[in-house]
Amino acid sequence: MLFTSITFAFFLLAVFILYWFGFSRNLKLQNLFLLVSSYFFYGWWDLRFLLLLFFISSSNYIIAIGIQKIENNLFRKSLFITGLIINIGTLVIFKYFNFFMDGIVHAISLIGIKANLQTFNIILPVGISFYIFLSLSYIIDCYQHKLSAVSNFFDALLTFSFFPIILAGPIQRPISLLPQIQNKRIFNYDKAADGLRQILWGLFMKIVIADRCAVHSNLIFADSSTYAGSTLILGIFFFTVQIYADFAGYSNIAIGIGKLLGFNIMQNFNFPYFVRDIREFWKRWNISLTTWFRDYVFLPIAYYVSRNIKSDHFYLIKAEFLIYTVGIAFTWILTGLWHGANYTFIIWGLFHGFFLIINHVGAKPRKRLLKRLNIRNDNIMLTIVDFLVTFIIIMLSWIFFKADNLGHALSYFSGIFSLSIFTIPVIIPKVTLLLIAGFSIVEWMGRGQEYAIAKLGSNWPFLVRWAIYYGIILLIFYFGGSEQQFIYFQF
């Protein structure tokens, strides 16, 4: 049941009506109805997935209560570690088992030993990476006394299965989601109307922009060896636009649905391509995931390394640089691996980690150089150069993300960096380029808002404003001939 399907539209309408007009007087019944709706939505993909979701949710519910009630530190820690093993172990088995088995076989073969380790045709449950991270943050926060374990079993189940966010986020942590579940929600017309606008924009991003770009990026990547460098650049440009419009579109729809139901779901994208450096990009792209890795991976690793370094230098390396580098390296290897069991994702993560380190190291020298040259940081030419360099780095990184394997990625790179880059692209879809141009203008105009059309035309005449909305709806129906899955469903 895709967010972009007619089936989901009827499902959401039914949920909305019963949620507000049938169960709003009783919070427990309202939450129970929302839980049943969430399980129905998730089970629509595959009923077998529900058993795993229920197992993970129930385990975390029991473990968190135990962590809170047990006073013996050893038992408490053992229970916490058990929770980590259950969550991480489940993710590893379903997502990485065959990847690690293949890696072991390859490593053994390098020393001349032939191995035939068993692999299995394991189905990857949709959304598993997202609800496992929800579960991990729940038990970690309970263990660190940042969050009290929820006593109501159904509230706990709902926390891990809330249907707007279970498939592809945002990763709304229980520390902020649980209070909203436990407190009465009152219908707010302005909030609901805002939610509908955000859903509308999310549908436009996915159906009109992302799916349109996908046609061209898939075509070029599928047969990249036959195209000139100029066409390959166009192919990765289309994918760069596609993945943003696809994922941010999903997030906008999810957040908008949350608003319809009286929930505040965190902003997940903040116009990430309008930035001047890679660090700022990662403050604005998939915010819920990057902040999760920051809080639960980077900061603990940085703290551990800093605690074990007793001086300002470690073998002639500045301690501050070493702490940051080690933290970034581990964080971005795991970030890449989180996206999929493929070496391309690990390289993609290291690629971004490398440029984050470059940005970190070069920040002070850049500042001194600009001061010496008497150039203000907000200089228009400098801003344009920064934007172009950053955008090119981001665009090149998506090659690893999109490619089937490392060989495909390297072949794509070699095709770009050849003399054929100066030829005219074979594929020039004018309609798609015009749509991207219009989309970019609207995004730029609305970059100071939560989403691009949040306040678009708010001071304009009623008829003009609604003409824009109907225009967007017409474009959605015109280009919405086929349903295409969201990219992040595979993660």
For the residues 43-64, what does the mean pLDDT come to? Answer: 93
CA contacts within 13 A on the Cβ side of 122: 18
Amino acid at 54: F
pLDDT at 107: 59
What is the chain's length?
Answer: 491
- DSSP helix/strand/coil, 318: strand
Q: 100 pLDDT band (50/70/90 cuts)?
A: low
User: What token pair was written down for 254?
Assistant: 């999810």
Average pLDDT, the chain: 91
Amino acid at 173: R
Report the run of H or E that residue 313 belongs to, with start and end.
Answer: strand 313-314
For 298-309, what is each residue's pLDDT tens digit?
999 999 988 888
pLDDT > 60? residue 117: no
For 233-273, what is each residue's pLDDT tens digit?
999 999 999 999 999 999 999 999 999 999 999 999 999 99
Q: 106 pLDDT band (50/70/90 cuts)?
A: low
For 344-377, what is each residue's pLDDT tens digit?
999 999 999 999 999 999 999 999 999 999 999 9
Active-site residue, from 145, 339, 352, 408: 339
- Please give the Cα distance from 20 to 197 (Å, whole number): 19
For 192-244, what is each residue's pLDDT tens digit?
999 999 999 999 999 999 999 999 999 999 999 999 999 999 999 999 999 99
Q: Report, in angstroms and rounded to the nearest whole number, the Rg of the chain calculated over CA atoms.
A: 24
**Chain centroid, CA 384 distance in Å:** 27
User: What token pair was written down for 423?
Assistant: 């030829």
User: String of b and e for 134-144 (b: at least 16 CB within 10 Å)?
Assistant: bbbbbbbbbbe
pLDDT at 165: 95
Q: Any catalytic annotation for residue 352?
A: no
- Please name the residues in contact with 442: beta carbons below 8 A apart, sequence gap of 6 or more: 452, 453, 456
Q: 8 pLDDT band (50/70/90 cuts)?
A: very high
Which of 198, 211, 213 lies closest to 267 in space, CA to CA? Answer: 198
For 405-459, what is each residue's pLDDT tens digit?
999 999 999 999 999 999 999 888 999 999 999 999 999 999 999 999 998 877 8
Could you count the other beta carbons within 10 Å of the beta carbon of residue 53? 21
DSSP code for 164: T
